[in-house]
Structure 1
């Protein structure tokens, strides 16, 4: 199991995930990250907030960047369904 950290970057600021979560694979971490982004986007929309150039960075235990998940790409993916 590898521990992955999910940092959120928005408006030039980054909210760091100091705890992270363990996953069996990077694909499992990606699935979790996309689900979390969907929930964040839904909460922002319900609150009437605008989604700008926000993204989630997924980093491993060595702080290596493994994924970048754009909020806009997640929204576009949902709209194509």
Structure 2
């Protein structure tokens, strides 16, 4: 199992995931991030806020970014 962190970036601000999640591989981390991004996007829509410019960054145990998911990409498919 590997530890992945799911940070939220909004413009120049980064909200770090302090604990991370143990997952088997990067594909599992991307799947987890897509689900979390959908939930975040739904919350933004319910609050009448835009998700433009926001993204979820997946980092490994060294805090190196291994994938980025733009919230806008969830809407666009």
> TM-score, length-normalised on structure 2?
0.95
Per-residue displacement from partner, 1:18-64 (whole Å, max 9, x unpaired)? 10000001000000000000000000000111122110110000112
Task: Give the aligned length.
Answer: 77
1:31-70 to 2 correspondence within 5 Å? 31-70=31-70
Which deviates more from structure 2 when the two are superposed, residues 6-15 or residues 32-41? 6-15
Q: Shift of residue 11 of structure 1?
A: 3.2
Greater radius of gyration (CA): 1
Runs of at least 4 residues off by over 4 Å: none
Q: Which residue of structure 1 aligns with residue 29 of structure 2?
A: 29
5+ residue gaps, structure 1: none
CA root-mean-square deviation: 0.8
